[in-house]
Chain A
Amino acid sequence: MRQMKRMSSIAASNVALLAFLFVTCVAGAEPTGFFSSPTSIFAPASTPAKSIAPLAIFVLVITGIIFSVVFTLLVYAIIKFRGRASDAGREPAQVYGSTQIELAWTIVPVLIVVVLFLATARVIHSVQDAPEPVSAVEVTVIGHQYWWEYRYPKLGIVTANELHIPVSDPAHPTPTFMTLLSADTDHSFWVPELAGKTDLIPNHPNRTWLDPQRTGIFLGQCAQYCGVQHAKMLLRVSVDSTKDFAAWVRAEQQPAVEDSKVAAGRHVFETTACINCHTVNGTPANGRFGPDLTHLMSRATIASGAVENTPENLRLWIQDPNTIKPGCLMPAMKLSDADLDLLVSYMETLR
């Protein structure tokens, strides 16, 4: 009787601890929670992530129960069967095993495995084999060392680093389907609140999809080690209302702003090697090694999220990219201060 009481008190305190951890962890995903984070897997805003979160909680609960049971038994055994001084010399009963017990603790885990497997297989299938509606937005994502290229083939847009997609109404979904490619090493697209991650592997196109159900900015970053600046290959997804998305698309489809006031700066741009790597629509620059700069000023950050898009940061970046992202593949062009100022003022006009 005392044994039962002791066991249940150990079990109870264990369950309480687990419940506390569980609640703070899951509930704390909200902005005001203790574990608040803009990249929590427990704050899903899009169907793929929303399919995963309940499965995750289900698995956590089951494994939590298993843990409680075994933990309780272990702690109980340690307390109850500890050797005492009065035992000296006497050996306990030498038990070699028990077939019934072995069967029991084989069959129960097998059943748990079956349940978990079926639950998981359903989610795998629903996310991976989801049908693609005609109204889906198509984006081709190309991973580079250390930036993201986004091409919207049906809309004729090429941009970089900040992805804009429309919000999706669950009643009339407008998901975004992405084809994932890579220009060099392996990368991985991970925005936790929108979907699980999918890798970008050269010569191995992948498909994934998002249908965010609220507007806002969603953060993430590359999750597959791709080289020196893997840590700074950040993701910024802007989920826009239908109107805002249409406006963004229209703006992106325009060629680059031509401002005669910065003609000198444009001249610097076009006569330095910049045009070998970068594209600015409507100018001779059509390089594809680096990000498309046609609408650089529409982005909140530069260098794939490494720093905010301010004139000072832009100047620092162009002067020597290695001060912001040491080891990145953009060389310092060794421009004079005067040229640098002109160039920055030109870049500032590329809205």
Chain B
Amino acid sequence: MSSNVITVSGMQIEERPWLDALQRWLTTVDHKRLGILYIAYGLSFLLVAGVEAVIIRIQLMRPHNNFVSPQVFNRMFTMHSTTMVFFAAMPILFGFSNYLVPLMIGARDMAFPRLNAFSFWLSALGGLLLYFSFIGGSGLYGAGSAPDVGWWAYAPLTARAFSPGHSTDYWTLSVLVSGFGTVGTGINIIATILCMRCPGMTLNRMPLLAWLNLVMAGMVLIAITPLSAAQIMLLVDRYLGGHFFDAQAGGAPVLWMHFFWIFGHPEVYILIIPCFAFMSEIIPVFSRKPIFGYPVMVAATVCIGFISMSVWAHHMFTVGMSSYANSFFTFTTMVIGVPTGIKIFNWLGTMWGGRLQFKVPMLFCIGFLFQFLIAGLTGIMLACAAFGWQLSLSYFVVAHFHYTLVGGVVFAIFAAIYYWYPKMTGRMTSERLGKWHFWLFLIGFHLTFDLMHFPGMLGMPRRIYTYEPGRGWDMFNFLISIGAFIQAIAVLVFVANLVISYFKGDKAGNDPWDAWTLEWSVSSPPPEYNFASIPTVASRRPLWDLKHPEDPDSRYE
């Protein structure tokens, strides 16, 4: 640390290390600290939203249950989804981007460290604002509190007439504010990747994580902002007497739907693309082979980025668009399945012929592959508009998107946490606890979300606080709830692992996994300046070249 401390004799300076640490963390502009803040923040909200999910599942364990009132239930599903998307998944993924991108491209920090900090605190404020609604808002019929309009907040349910009080405003403002933070981080990521790569690292030699974050950040710029625009319009309607979505004045509630889903569909790709990035970094290391088809992976991701802007109305198949519109969106939605499938095949190709090591991160990656395959296929089913007329707005869709978001995003997040925890903390996690976490979570996940497809096909719509007996849904719902409880236990094991390993884990060296990207060339945790001197690279796997000077990648690229 610093060796030029001035000693003043005769004075007693009280040391308060915890206060110093707090100040360092609150005022940090270091991308690694901000990354950890984002991840810790996101994990906390993941737990809170998980509790909300458990409440939902207890209520739905049997028909006509009375665990919570309909008002509370509606708040629970609204808060669960809003929290998970905006304040759990996005912060965790942005935290990893923040932490890893500069290290992987050989830079000392992000392009704009202060903007980085500002974006984090803006997003953090958004989450706290949303949860303040429990105390501060007043919802339908002035009955108090958190928003209960669903995370899509469809008009006209959000109009003053149908949502008096302030609960909807908490939804609008918290998401609006954190949206600006998100755009700030998107700008930062693009500027960092385009302008701060170390010498020799052409775009063609960047780790796939950097490429995919570049595409994701570009999508953030043009997908988050339509939601911000729509939310401003909603506020104009609610507070300035505007008529954007006011049917009585000739306005069109359908317009809100279009604007929301122009955001909403790219948003789910914004969530999954960083997870693809994790897969593309972790699977090669535990297969002991480079990623299969690097250029194709880049091209496929860029295609996904573009096509995802043209599929939004597959969320609106039941809204009454013309048969031509329905057919168009069927087509584009199916087309986007092609590059996505190509990526799955490429990961399979990476594993093929390799020497697979089933460490905990790899277990979660394998789970991801199976689950994302299934999720993609149920997505194809939903893409067929006519089939979608039966399946939309039912528990089939709930099963599909939880398959992508839990089976995909959450599994990928777990893989990433187990993989980079040694780099961030200098300690290894417990393999034993990790495996318990994995198997418990896998069993719970499949019990819940495999079965959930069936009530959907048997007519159970979503967002209902209770259901009628005798429709064939009862046993499914009961078992689904059991699966949720198992997942909750698994998550507790996970949290225990993180905490215990921090204090008792084996010391991790620079490179516990024998990996090949630049972050593994520095100490664990890295020094504040990342690299003593900025590296120069000659291939996509600089550390492979160092470890295998007889057979470097640079010879083949």
Contacts and interface: CB of A to CB of B under 8 A. Distances in A.
B254 interface: yes
Contacts of A105: 341-342, 345
Interface string B130-146: 00000000001101000
Given A70-B373, A117-B334, A120-B327, A327 B454 contact: no
Nearest to B163: A227
A60 interface: yes
Nearest to B320: A206
B556 A81 contact: no
Given A59-B380, A113-B334, A83 B288 contact: yes
Interface stretch (B82-90, B230-238, B389-397, B433-441): B389-397
A199 B337 contact: no
B247 A59 contact: no
B457 interface: yes
A84 B354 CA distance: 11
Given A95-B353, A198-B320, A227-B157, A203 B471 contact: no
Given A67-B377, A83-B356, A197 B389 contact: yes
Contact of B334 (A84, A116, A124, A185): A116
The binding surface of chain A is classed by DSSP as mixed
Nearest to B344: A70
Contact of A95 (B254, B289, B331, B386): B289
A286 interface: no
A74 B318 contact: no
Given A52-B387, A120-B387, A37 B472 contact: yes
Interface stretch (A39-47, A160-168, A254-262): A39-47
Interface stretch (B118-126, B173-181, B203-211, B460-468): B460-468
A150 B460 CA distance: 23
B390 A199 contact: no
Contacts of A117: 327, 330-331, 334
Interface stretch (A4-12, A216-224, A288-296, A313-321): A216-224
A51 B386 contact: yes
A17 to B, nearest CB: 11
The residue in A52, A219, A226 that gathers the most chain B C-beta atoms within 10 A of its C-beta is A52
B80 to A, nearest CB: 14
Nearest to B369: A74
Nearest to A113: B334
Contacts of A123: 384, 386
A87 interface: yes
A191 to B, nearest CB: 8
A95 B355 CA distance: 13
Contacts of B322: 128
Nearest to A84: B355
Contacts of B471: 37-39, 219
A109 B341 CA distance: 8
Contacts of A74: 348, 366, 369-370, 373
A23 B290 CA distance: 42
Contacts of B70: 228-229, 231, 326-327
A94 B74 contact: no
Contact of A77 (B352, B374, B385, B464): B352
B389 A52 contact: yes
A277 B216 CA distance: 53
Contact of B353 (A60, A93, A101, A305): A93
Interface in A195-243: 195-199, 201-204, 206-207, 219-232, 234
Contact of A52 (B366, B390, B470): B390
Contacts of B287: 81
B202 interface: no
The residue in A51, A101, A109, A221 that gathers the most chain B C-beta atoms within 10 A of its C-beta is A109
Contacts of A276: none
B10 interface: no
A19 interface: no
Nearest to A41: B390
Contacts of A93: 289, 353
Contacts of A87: 355
Contact of B342 (A102, A228, A327): A102
Interface string A22-48: 000100010000011111111000001
B387 to A, nearest CB: 5
Interface in A68-83: 70-71, 73-74, 77-78, 81-83
A55 interface: yes
A272 B419 CA distance: 70
A106 interface: yes
A203 B247 contact: yes
Interface residues of B, number: 99
Contacts of B556: 96
A124 B330 contact: yes
A265 interface: no
Contacts of A67: 373-374, 377
A121 interface: yes
Interface stretch (B108-116, B272-280, B292-300): B292-300
B253 A203 contact: yes
A132 to B, nearest CB: 15
Given A83-B357, A92-B289, A228-B74, A35 B458 contact: yes
B15 to A, nearest CB: 48
B479 interface: no
The residue in B251, B293, B384, B473 that gathers the most chain A C-beta atoms within 10 A of its C-beta is B384
Nearest to B345: A105
Nearest to B140: A228
Contact of A199 (B143, B162, B318, B384): B318
Interface string B313-338: 00000111011001100110011011
Contacts of A127: 386, 389
Contact of A327 (B140, B323, B390): B140
Contacts of A90: 355
A226 to B, nearest CB: 7
A231 B390 contact: no
Contacts of B74: 225, 228
A59 B253 contact: no
Contacts of A82: 355-356, 358
Interface string B345-364: 11011011111111000000
B72 to A, nearest CB: 10
A335 interface: no
A138 interface: no
B318 A198 contact: yes
Contacts of B150: 225
A105 B341 CA distance: 8
B459 A40 contact: yes
Interface in A98-121: 98, 101-102, 105-106, 109-110, 113, 116-117, 119-121
A201 B320 contact: yes
A91 to B, nearest CB: 5
Contacts of B334: 113, 116-117
Given A95-B292, A121-B327, A101 B374 contact: no
6 contacts: A25-B457, A37-B471, A92-B355, A96-B290, A231-B463, A231-B466
Given A92-B355, A225-B463, 11 more contacts: A39-B460, A71-B373, A82-B355, A83-B355, A94-B290, A117-B334, A120-B386, A125-B327, A224-B154, A234-B468, A305-B468
- 7 closest pairs, A vs B, by CB? A196-B389, A39-B459, A37-B472, A231-B464, A202-B247, A203-B247, A206-B320
